[in-house]
Amino acid sequence: MNDSLGAVCDDFYVSVRLFLKLDMKLERETVLHFFDRIRKEYPGLTKLRRRDRDCIVLEEEPDERGSRRWIRLDGGSLRFGHFAPTDTDDVRRFGKLILTQAPYHLSFSDLDFDHLEVVFGFDLEYRGNHDLLVAETLLGEQAAGGFLFADEAAHVIDAQPYFGIALSPECDLQAYVEVKSRTTTFEVRNAIFENEPISVYLTARKYWGVDNPPSLADALGTLFDVAEELTTEKAVPNFVNPLAAAIASRS
């Protein structure tokens, strides 16, 4: 998939999250060996930060487009992603390397895996009542509109749809769409709004423990396939594009 996803929004990004059942110890030698192995393929990962005792982040400096990769280790998860990627296949390759190396360097076992998820994120900047725009665009013609736009309603102050579906009979493969608004009641009350993004997230998730466990790399490939298909066929036409058009009509 090319960079067309970045063209439908102000910011596009991909993140991957592996959640563990047991906390891992972030010992100095283990972490540095793991990061050094990834840096052999991605030497731009030079910025190491410790956010707190149990969270370590390695990331690139943003390029002229703002694009950057990052990896995060904390006690209960391994996370990584790419902000403003030019191609989601690049993110796949980055993720495959990380999830192939992580079990050896960080002593992972499939017994320890809770779930893996791939998230495609779209940010749409809008200076106004996010919740009102979302309600009018996505929910106005639905049954929920009878509540959101009732005679008693002075303002819409919370409209953040969140939908989930199972993609397998066992429910171990799942997908979610979430719309996230950022308008506060203070802004609504005073009619003074910050230029903040409305976010649309498409999440593909795989749980372990239901069937024969796949390798992390294989699971990642499946989740990317699911995320790309549902993004292009469902999330973009049904959520991102209508919101983008509504924002443009109010500019």
For 109-164, give the DSSP string.
Answer: -GGGEEEEEEEEEEEEEEES-HHHHHIIIIITTSTTHHHHT-TT-S-------EEE
* Backbone conformation region of residue 84, classed left if phi is above 0, alpha if psi is from -120 to 50, else beta: left
Q: Which one of 3.30.230.10, 3.30.160.110, 2.130.10.30, 3.40.50.1100 gives the CATH number of domain 3-249?
A: 3.30.160.110
Angle between helices 88-106 and 216-230 (to 10 degrees): 150
Beta bridge partners, 175, equal 165, 204
Q: What is the pTM of this model?
A: 0.94
**What pLDDT was estimated at residue 25?**
84
What are the extents of the domains in the chain? 3-249
Mean pLDDT for each consecutive 10-residue tract of the chain (251 residues)?
78 97 90 96 95 89 94 95 94 97 92 96 97 95 89 95 96 97 96 96 93 88 97 97 96 75
Shortest CA distance to 200 belongs to which of 106, 120, 91? 120
User: Rounded to whole angstroms, how far apart are CA atoms 15 and 145?
Assistant: 33
**What pLDDT was estimated at residue 24?**
87
